[in-house]
A and B are shown apart, each in its own frame.
Chain A
Amino acid sequence: MEQLAFGLVAAVLLYSALRVVSEDNLVHTVLWLGVTLATTAAAYVLLHAPFLAAIQIILYTGGALTLMLFGVMLTQRVESVEVPNAAAGQGRAAIVVALLFGVIAAAVVKTPGLPSSPPVDVPVRALGRSFLTTHLLAFEVLSVLLLTAMVGAIVLARKADPAPAPTPKPAPKAHDAHGEAHP
């Protein structure tokens, strides 16, 4: 039963991932990515990690995908359902991806002591405790990373640099526009 479920999830995962890179329409790409992310959550459920699955749905399918839709809608001139995906079907990317896959596969094979049986359910309480004890450093570093990203996003999104101080004088005249700082 579990083998069958895993096969199904893996098939959907691979197919949707393939569609993500091959689709010509950018919006379709994003929606296929949604399928990929949701199926990843299903894979987590099969691995007895329901908490991770729920977080995957909330953060990636619910959050990140929405932001991507916004990105697509706000950067393109959307005049119809045809939104071209200029990056579709690039051969060079395949080489990079193959290399990356090789590295990850090698890492998995070389790692000693990976459990072959499905892992036991970890209660959420234990998970939370380990975040705040054993893995506290990684947890905090991640928070700093997210904070940095947030500050960066705000800086980028700000329309223009507001004047450092409100200048009492009106607009500078033509003759003093030669680069000298105003007092």
Chain B
Amino acid sequence: MNPWLHAVLYSLVLVTVLMTCTAYATWLERKVAGRMQSRLGPTRVGFAGLLQPIADALKLLQKEDIVPLAADRALFNLAPPLTVFFALATAAVIPFSPGLLASDLDIGALYVLALSGLMVFPVWIGSWASNNKYALLGGMRAVAQGISYEIPLLLSVTIVILMADTMSLSGIVQVQADEGWFIARPFGLGLATFALFFVAALAEGNRIPFDTPEAESELVAGPTTEYTGMKFGLFYMAEYLHSIIVAGLGAALFLGGWDGPIAPGLHWMVLKTLGLWMVMLWARWTFLRFRTDQMMTLCWRYLVPASLGLLMAAAVWVHAVHGVS
């Protein structure tokens, strides 16, 4: 098939599937959160509330679109679609099964990190363009958090790159399929790296317990304070998309991606992604939000030194196992 046609079709399918997953992720989250708090969650719209996401989307579309008079109009309107764009663009290199990915970049892991580093920009742009002090405070927190937690995130992925000896995500999954998953290999070090990646990714995605930019008890709704209707919906969507993609990335980097017995690779990838995403939910509805200064302390005093230590340990391990190549 023509590579251009293939790229367009694949992207269309991927975007559609991811958007549907995002919509139903909100349903699942509300169900799980409800059960964790002895509630039922959505039950009214459709069987077991299954039509709730569609009702939500329709409701958001009907809402009046308000742009504050003192806002920077162009940037205010630019920010919401830009967040979704960056979140979706990350999905291009996630390998779902052997050969099933939009683009098998040689530098896939770096590409993901580059885009996830950009994720804070639309949030900040939206917060600044809102011309609202709560929004701006939230935006500044988002940027501070993003740029700090990017370092342990980058270093934890660097450790995986070092151990796998490749930067291509499908290559990293293939190495794990051949030689064992990186969460358990080398013993202890892999698990610690995974924990580091997971915490940094949660913080980078502004998920509870790291959602200090949003902090509704202090900042109304943080960067999204002035947004209404579907523009708010887009921010919301981007957050869910990002969390799903981060779960997929974690599955590909540490849990062997599509590798698994009996069932085809895609099933395993989806199962692992969903599992990791459920752990995020679990964390979200269990822990309390950190304070901003605690977030910074955690990152700079503990995670950054720990990640540097792990990187050195991984280098020693790679040298001991493979020798100088």
Contacts and interface: CB of A to CB of B under 8 A. Distances in A.
Interface of A: 27, 31, 34, 50-51, 54-55, 57-58, 61-63, 65-67, 69-70, 73, 78, 80-81, 121, 123-124
A67 B121 CA distance: 12
A54 B114 contact: yes
Contacts, number: 63
A54 B70 contact: no
A22 B164 CA distance: 47
A62 B118 CA distance: 5
Given A66-B120, A73-B140, A58 B113 contact: yes
B110 A34 contact: no
Q: Identify whether the interface residues of B are mostly helix, strand, loop, or mixed.
A: helix
Given A57-B114, A66-B146, A124 B128 contact: no
A60 B105 CA distance: 21
A124 B118 contact: no
A58 B71 contact: no
Given A58-B113, A63-B117, A80-B70, A50 B140 contact: no
A124 B107 contact: yes
B114 A58 contact: yes
B131 A57 contact: no
Nearest to A78: B136
A50 B107 contact: yes
22 contacts: A27-B128, A34-B121, A50-B106, A50-B107, A54-B110, A54-B113, A54-B114, A55-B110, A57-B114, A57-B115, A57-B118, A58-B114, A62-B114, A62-B147, A66-B146, A66-B147, A67-B147, A69-B143, A70-B140, A73-B136, A78-B136, A81-B70
Given A63-B117, A70-B140, A80-B70, 19 more contacts: A31-B125, A50-B105, A50-B106, A54-B110, A57-B115, A58-B154, A61-B117, A62-B114, A62-B117, A62-B118, A65-B121, A66-B120, A66-B147, A73-B140, A78-B136, A81-B128, A81-B131, A124-B107, A124-B167
A81 B120 CA distance: 19
Contacts of A69: 124, 143
B75 A58 contact: no
A171 to B, nearest CB: 31
A123 B105 CA distance: 12
Interface of B: 70-72, 75, 105-107, 110-111, 113-115, 117-118, 120-121, 124-125, 128-129, 131, 136, 140, 143-144, 146-147, 150, 154, 167
Nearest to A66: B147
Contacts of A50: 105-107
Given A81-B72, A123-B106, A124-B107, A57 B117 contact: yes
Nearest to B68: A81
Q: Identify whether the interface residues of A are mostly helix, strand, loop, or mixed.
A: helix
Nearest to B125: A31
A78 B129 CA distance: 12
Contacts of A66: 120-121, 143, 146-147
A35 to B, nearest CB: 11
Contacts of A62: 114, 117-118, 147, 150
Nearest to B140: A73
B143 A51 contact: no
A121 B105 CA distance: 12
B24 to A, nearest CB: 31
A65 B144 CA distance: 12
A12 to B, nearest CB: 15
A61 B105 CA distance: 20
A1 to B, nearest CB: 10
Contacts of B106: 50-51, 121, 123-124
Contacts of B75: 31
Contacts of B154: 58
A124 B118 CA distance: 23
Given A69-B143, A80-B70, A51 B128 contact: no
A57 to B, nearest CB: 4
B123 to A, nearest CB: 12
Nearest to B143: A66
Contact of B118 (A27, A55, A61): A61
